[in-house]
Amino acid sequence: MDYRVSDILIPKEEIEKRVVDLGKQIARDYEGKELVVVGILKGAVVFMADLVRNIPPTVNVSLDFMAVSSYGDSTKTSGIVRIVKDLDSSIKDKNVLIVEDIVDTGLTLSYLVKLMHERQPGSVRVCALLDKEERRKVHVDVAYRGFSIPDEFVVGYGLDYAGKWRNLPSVHVVEVTGESRTEV
């Protein structure tokens, strides 16, 4: 099976504008406060790097990272997530903003939000660049959402297919090419 990236779904200029807006919104909400921005590796790295540069120093921002992977068969919807890399620092009494590339079923984020709450932070919110709302299986409160997108597999701007295409500056849909078509 061959795959290729299709035409652009969200051009880099549109992403840039939206990230500026999200930064402003976050700056307003956390003005004068400390904020631990937690990026979920690896998909959120590109988005997070742009986002934090749009939050002015009126917010006391620090960065931390988590890497997660779904347990076992990805078609099973247990919602159990394995922590591959945990946070470096305690989030007790801190304001936490989880930054994720995309919300699909919501299982990953609902698990992560629950996990964060167990650590008694001051607050926890979610910022996701993309949201496939029609795929949702469990509720996730997405406080800051970049774009709602249709149920298509997308790559670029940090998102990958089999580790590829994270470096594309825009978001593209992945297409299957060749004779036998199957879902990505």
Using CB under 6 A as the criterion, which residues of the chain lie in contact with ligand XMP when the complex forms? Answer: 43, 100-109, 153-155, 159-160
Site for Mg ion in 76-135 (CB under 5 A): 101
At closest approach, how far in Å is the CB of 68 from Mg ion?
8
DSSP state of 11: -
Q: Please, which residue, 22 or 59, has the CB nearer to ligand XMP?
A: 22
Q: Please, which residue, 33 or 145, has the CB nearer to ligand XMP?
A: 145
User: Residue 14: is it exposed, middle or buried by C-beta count within 10 angstroms (0-12/13-18/19+)?
Assistant: middle
Is residue 36 within 8 Å of 94, Cβ to Cβ? yes
Of Mg ion, ligand XMP, none, which one sits near residue 106, judging by CB under 5 to 8 A according to partner kind? ligand XMP
- As separate numbers, helices (DSSP H) first and strands (DSSP E) second, the chain gives 3, 9
Q: What is the chain's Cα-based Rg?
A: 17
Pairing between β-strand 154-155 and β-strand 171-177 as defined by DSSP bridges: antiparallel
User: Residue 180: is it exposed, middle or buried by C-beta count within 10 angstroms (0-12/13-18/19+)?
Assistant: exposed
Of ligand XMP, Mg ion, none, which one sits near residue 36, judging by CB under 5 to 8 A according to partner kind? none
At closest approach, how far in Å is the CB of 108 from ligand XMP?
3
Spatial distance between the Cα atoms of 130 and 150, rounded to a whole number of angstroms = 10
CB-nearest residue to Mg ion: 43
Catalytic residue list: 104
- Residue 43 as a binder of Mg ion (CB under 5 A): the answer is yes
Q: Please, which residue, 5 or 55, has the CB nearer to ligand XMP?
A: 5
At closest approach, how far in Å is the CB of 143 from Mg ion?
18
**Where do contacts with Mg ion occur on this chain (CB under 5 A)?**
43, 101
